[in-house]
Amino acid sequence: MSTTARPPKQSPSRGVSAASARRRRARTAWIVGAIVAVVAIAGITAIVAGGGADKGDVTLTQIQPVDISGSPLPAFASPEGDQAVGLAAPTVDGLSFDDSKVSITPGRPTLLVFLAHWCPHCQAEVPRVVAWHDAGQAPADLDVIGVITGTDATLPNYPPSSWLVREEWPFPTLVDDGSSSAMAVFGFQNFPAFALIDANGVVQYRATGEIEMTDLDAVLASKLGL
């Protein structure tokens, strides 16, 4: 039987071994460097794509200063016989969660929606208002401004900025101060609360508690013709 013998394994010279080792080390260093670069680029890309911190997280400002002008409205008791109707609404200059300016001033009919993050009735009301907007039912000539007030980091559903992001709240939001001054100057003590102001800055309607959007539509039609 004919066979082919396996050639004997030859040992390379010392010089060849050293050169090969150097080449292997160089290749290894290059590969490691490439991997590090790829990981770094991927990390930078993720940060850029994600826009940094979530806009709804606690890195945003949950309580802001407010600058109030004008006389406080009478304490709210009931929409019927409300003593604030016909009075000039106070003006409020403030900030949103991201420090952008938000003001409550005359100029356009405006609906103010006062909300507290921990209030279960507010949590039920926000989706109604969002759906009302998304369905195209909010009048084009009406400004809607949310007012986040009563904020307390020890209470549920904190921070309010994250809550509104989750609910896809579409309106500008003024963030009240630690004393709920914006809410107090409008005469409210309960949440949610609503104040309807005409283009001249005159109060036309106030209410507290949950409200159905069909009822809100009726109020807008009767008070402002919207």
Q: What is the pLDDT of residues 194-223, one digit of tens each?
A: 999 999 999 999 999 999 999 999 999 999
- Report yes or no: 176 and 182 within 8 Å, Cβ to Cβ: yes
Distance CA 202, CA 162 (A): 33
The pLDDT assigned to 59 comes to 75
CA distance 74 to 127: 29
Q: Please give the pLDDT value at position 57.
A: 53
Separation between Cα atoms, residue 88 and residue 106, nearest integer Å: 9
- Range name among 29-38, 155-164, 206-215 with the lowest pLDDT average: 29-38
Within 10 A of 219 (CB to CB), how many other CB atoms are there? 18
| pLDDT over 90, % of the chain | 74
Helix axes 213-224, 120-134, angle to 10 degrees: 70
Q: Does residue 35 register a pLDDT over 60?
A: no
Report in angstroms the alpha-carbon separations of 94 from 54, 56, 60, 66: 22, 19, 15, 5
C-beta atoms surrounding 126 within 10 Å: 21
| Residues whose CB falls within 8 Å of the CB of residue 90, separated by 6 or more in sequence, listed in order | 68, 69, 70, 71, 72, 73, 104, 185, 186
- Let me know if 167 is exposed, middle or buried by CB neighbors in 10 A (0-12, 13-18, 19+): middle
CA triplet 67, 68, 70: central angle to 5 degrees? 155
Beta-bridge partner residues of 92? 68, 104
Query: What is the tens place of the pLDDT at every residue in 113-136?
Result: 999 999 999 999 999 999 999 999
Determine the 3-state secondary structure of 8 from DSSP: coil
Q: What pairing do the DSSP bridges indicate for beta strands 67-69 and 91-95?
A: antiparallel
Mean pLDDT (the chain, rounded): 82
Q: Tell me the CATH number of domain 67-224, given options 3.20.20.140, 3.90.180.10, 3.40.50.1100, 3.40.30.10.
A: 3.40.30.10
Which residue type is seen at 49?
A: A
State the Cα–Cα distance between residues 120 and 199, nearest whole angstrom: 31
Give the mean pLDDT of 28-36: 40
Q: What is the pTM of this model?
A: 0.75
Label residue 3 by pLDDT band (50, 70, 90): very low
**Alpha-carbon distance 17 to 165, whole Å?**
63
Q: How far apart are CA 206 and CA 196, in angstroms?
A: 6
